[in-house]
């Protein structure tokens, strides 16, 4: 039995702390994988990395707290992690253009993103199902996923896949003063 969990993030504001629901589901009950017509799936490599970054920018740039990292910064944050899983990370092209991506680390689906023009086609579902199956095939009995609580579309997708809340976690940030202020 493989277990899938979703860890949700609350407000991405710099000084807020929000509790986070944490759903869980038996991966054997995940929906059957169906790729939308016209989709080509790229295994992780340089072409998938570049296309995934383009999909990432387009998918998330309008979200509050978007960090606007360069391609090099984004890739280093993901693939520079020793737990990065090439074998479970993918990019979906629709008619040859970046449409969505999933990036995974050991037991985690770190990011799933779909370009707004290609949402509601089943790409997030297919990417998540495929990544989950690949992580399960790599021996992970538990697969976890992050999602913001204010991302209603993603939460609906995970609920449709059978996830349920099973816990909460907080996110904390500290604003560091700038200038000559004493920071002791």
176 in a structural domain: no
Do the domain assignments include residue 119? yes
pLDDT digit string, tens, across residues 122-156 = 999 899 889 888 888 888 877 777 776 777 877 77
Does an H or E element contain 55, and which? Answer: helix 46-60
Strand ranges (DSSP E) for the chain? 3-9, 21-26, 39-43, 90-94, 97-105, 108-114, 142-148, 164-168
The tens digit of pLDDT for each residue in 27-78 reads 455 555 788 899 999 999 999 999 999 999 999 999 888 888 999 999 999 9
Q: What angle do CA 38, 40, 44 make, to 5 degrees?
A: 160
Residue 163 lies in a domain: yes
**Can you give the residue range of the structural domain that contains 58?**
3-168
User: Is 15 among the domain residues?
Assistant: yes
The predicted-structure confidence for 154-181, as pLDDT tens digits, reads as follows 777 777 776 666 555 565 667 788 765 5
Q: What is the DSSP letter of 120?
A: T
Q: Which residues pair with 26 in a beta bridge?
A: 3
> Which pair of tokens denotes residue 120?
């509601």
Look up the CATH number of the domain holding residue 20. 3.40.630.30
Query: pTM for this structure?
Result: 0.76
Q: Does 184 reside within a domain?
A: no
**For the chain, what is the domain count?**
1
177 is a domain residue: no
């Amino acid at each position: 039995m493989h277990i899938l969990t979703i860890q949700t993030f609350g407000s991405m504001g710099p000084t807020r702390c929000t509790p986070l629901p944490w759903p869980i589901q038996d991966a054997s009950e995940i929906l059957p994988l169906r790729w939308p017509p016209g989709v080509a799936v790229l295994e992780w490599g340089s072409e998938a990395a570049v296309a995934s970054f383009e999909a990432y920018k387009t998918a998330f740039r309008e979200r509050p707290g978007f960090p606007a990292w360069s391609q090099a910064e984004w890739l280093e944050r993901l693939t520079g992690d020793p737990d990065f899983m090439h074998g479970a990370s993918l990019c979906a092209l629709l008619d040859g253009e970046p449409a969505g991506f999933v990036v995974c680390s050991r037991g985690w689906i770190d990011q799933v993103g779909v370009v707004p023009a290609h949402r509601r086609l089943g790409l997030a579902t297919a990417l998540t199902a495929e990544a989950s199956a690949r992580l399960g095939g790599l021996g992970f009995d538990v697969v976890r996923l992050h999602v913001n609580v204010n991302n209603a579309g993603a939460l609906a997708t995970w609920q449709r896949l059978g996830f349920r809340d099973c816990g909460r976690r907080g996110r904390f940030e500290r604003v560091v003063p700038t200038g000559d202020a004493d920071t002791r």
